[in-house]
Chain A
Amino acid sequence: MDSIVNKFKRSTSTWGDHNMLVNFDVTKEFSLPSFDIPPCHNPIEFLKHNTDEKSNAECRIKFKHGTTTLAFKFQGGIIVSVDSRATTGSVIATQNIRKIIEINPYLLGTMAGGAADCTFWERELGRRCRLYELRNKERISVSAASKLLGNIVYSFKGMGLSMGTMVVGWDKIGPNIYYVDADGTRLKGDLFSVGSGSPFAYGVLDSAYDFDLSAHDAAELGRRAVYHAAHRDSASGGNIHVYHVKQSGWENLGFRDFDDLHWEYQDQPKPSIIGDVQPMMLNIQD
C-alpha cells in the first residue's frame, strides 16, 4: 500500500501538492510558486514560438488579450472602469469576463493582457497582502502591495508573462493608483489607461477630466471613456463595469451593456468639450 502512495507522493511544485495543508512549511510562504518547465533545450524560446504572436504570427496558441481599463483619482476617491470582452486572436472568447479583481475589500486590481496571468498573480498578491495583515496587524499600503506584485513578475521577466495591471486602493496616505506591468514597470500616478483600447480612452478622459468632478460625473466619465474605446477598438466590448474606491473601501457601481449604452448615447446630445475655450484663429489665405 505504501509503495503505491509513494509513487504519487513525489511532487515538485507547491501548487500541485494536494497535501499542502498537512505538509505546510512556513519557509515556503515567501517563495514563489515553482512551475514545471518543459524538458526542452530552450524553454523560453519554445514558449515564445508557440504563443507569442509578435515573434511568430502563426503561433498555435493565442492568449486572451485586448482590453480597455482605466483608473483616475478625483476629489471623491478613485474611479476604476473596465470593459469585459476577452478575445483569442479575432474570436471572441467571452463577453462576460471580470477584469476588476477584488484583492480585498479596499484593494482592487485590473486585468489587461493575459487573462490567466492577471487572475493568478493578483490572487497570489491577495494571499500575500493577507499574510502582511496578519503579521503586522495593519492593512498593507497600496505602494507595498504593488511592489510585491511588481517584484513577482520581475522574477519571471523574459518568460512571456503578459500583464498590465493597475493596483488601486485607499490606504492611510490617501487614494493611490499604481501601474504595474510584466516588464517590471511600476509607476505611481493620478490617471492611467491600459490595454489595446487605451489610446481612445485617454482622449476622452483628458478632454473632460477635472479633479473636482462629483462622484456621479466621474463615474459617468469613466463609463463614457470605456464606451468610446470599445466603440473603436474591436478587442474591447461586452459590459462596462465601474467601481468607486472610497476611504471605506471599494464600491461596485454595477455594469451596463455596451450595445445598450451605444443606443442610449446616440439619442443624447453630445457632451460639450469645447466649452468656453477661445476658438482657434486660423490664418487661412484665400
Chain B
Amino acid sequence: MDYNGGTVLAMAGKNCVVVGSDKRLGVQNLTLSTEFQKVFPVTEKCYIALPGLATDVQTLSELFRLKCNMYKLREEREIEPLTLANMISSTLYGRRFGPYFCEPIIAGLDKNNKPHIYGMDLIGCLNFPDDFAVAGCAEAALFGMCESLWEPDLEPDELFETASQALLSAADRNSIVGWGAVIHTM
C-alpha cells in the first residue's frame, strides 16, 4: 500500500458530505505525477475514493463504473450509497485470496439527501462511521487530524474547510502523500 502513495478521506455534515484525496502518484520515492485522480463519481450524488496500489485504483474504478451502469440499466434508477458499499464489499471479498490492494471509501447522499459515508478494508469489511472515514498511506495522521477538527452538523462550506485542513496537514507529515488535494462536496 506504500508503493504508490496516496490517501483519501470522507466527512459527513448537515445534509452534506465531502470526499477528498491527495494528488500524488509515485513509485516509492520517485514522484511520477502530481495530478493523479483517486476520487471517481459513480452517480451525481455518490463518489468513491480509492487509495492504494495505482493499478488497482484504475481497475476498480472502471469495474465499478461498469457495475453501476449495469445496475442502472436493470433497475432503471441510480444506485444508492448503501447498496454500492455492499456491492463493492462483495467484489473485494471475491478476491479474498488474491486481493485488490485498495481500501475504498464511499461518500454520497441517498434519495432523501441524507448523508452516507462508508469505509472498508482491502477484503471488504464494511465500516459505518457517522463522522468521518479515512484510508491510505497517511491514515494514521488523518485519524488524528479528523478526530480533533470534526464536529457534528457542519454546513457545506465549513465541512469543506475542515476536510481540506485535515488532508493538507496530514499530507505534510508524509513524504509519499501530497502535491495538493482535491475535495468534492455534495
Query: What is the chain B residue whose CB lies nearest that of A88?
Result: B175
Q: Are A90 and B31 in touch, CB under 8 angstroms? A: no
Q: Does B73 contact A (CB under 8 A)?
A: no
Contacts A90-B2, A90-B137, A234-B5 hold; do A66 and B29 have CB atoms under 8 A apart?
yes
Check if B58 is an interface residue, CB within 8 A of chain A: no
Partner of B30 from the list A85, A92, A233, A237 (CB cut-off 8 Å) is A233
Q: Bound state CA distance, A91 and B175, in angstroms? A: 6
Q: Is the CB of B175 within 8 A of A85?
A: yes
The answer to whether B175 touches A66 (Cβ under 8 A) is: yes
B35 at the interface (CB under 8 A from A): no
A66→B31 CA distance, assembly (Å): 14
Q: Cα distance A87–B26 when bound, in Å?
A: 16
Q: Give the interface residue-count category, chain A.
A: 10 to 19
Residues of B within 8 A of A81 (CB): none
Residues of chain B within 8 A (CB-CB) of A237 are 175
Docked pose: A234 CA to B173 CA in angstroms:
11
Residues of chain A contacted by B2 (CB below 8 angstroms): 89-90
* Min distance, Cβ A283 to any Cβ of chain B, angstroms: 31
Query: Residue of A at shortest CB range from B32?
Result: A232
Interface size class of B (residues with CB under 8 A): 10 to 19
In this assembly, does B158 line the interface, its C-beta being within 8 Å of a C-beta of chain A? Answer: no
Is B174 located at the chain interface by the 8 A CB criterion? yes
Per the bound structure, the CA–CA distance linking A90 and B31 in Å amounts to 13
B30 touches A90 (CB 8 A): no
**Given A90-B2, A90-B137, A233 contacting B172 (CB threshold 8 A):** no
In whole Å, how far is B50's beta carbon from the nearest beta carbon of chain A? 19
**Smallest distance from the beta carbon of A7 to chain B beta carbons, Å?**
43
Residues in B with CB closer than 8 Å to A232 are: 30-31
Residues of B within 8 A of A146 (CB): none
Q: Pick the residue among B24, B29, B177 that contacts A235 (CB under 8 A).
A: B29
A196 at the interface (CB under 8 A from B): yes
Could you say which of A91, A92, A231, A233 contacts B29, with CB atoms under 8 Å apart?
A233
Q: In the docked arrangement, what's the CA distance between A90 and B175, Å?
A: 6
Give chain B interface residues in 39-85, CB to chain A under 8 Å.
none
Q: Which residues of B18-36 have CB atoms within 8 Å of chain A's CB atoms? A: 24, 26, 29-31
Find chain B residues with CB under 8 A from A87 CB. Answer: 175
Per a CB cutoff under 8 Å, which of A85, A91, A231 touches B31? A231
Tell me, in angstroms, the Cα distance from A89 to B30 when the chains sit together: 14
Most A CB atoms within 10 A — which of B175, B176, B178?
B175
A286 shortest CB reach to chain B, Å: 32
Offer 20 A-B interface pairs, CB within 8 angstroms, sorted by A: A66-B175, A85-B175, A87-B175, A90-B2, A90-B5, A90-B174, A90-B175, A90-B177, A91-B141, A91-B173, A92-B172, A92-B173, A196-B29, A232-B31, A234-B29, A234-B31, A234-B175, A235-B29, A235-B175, A237-B175
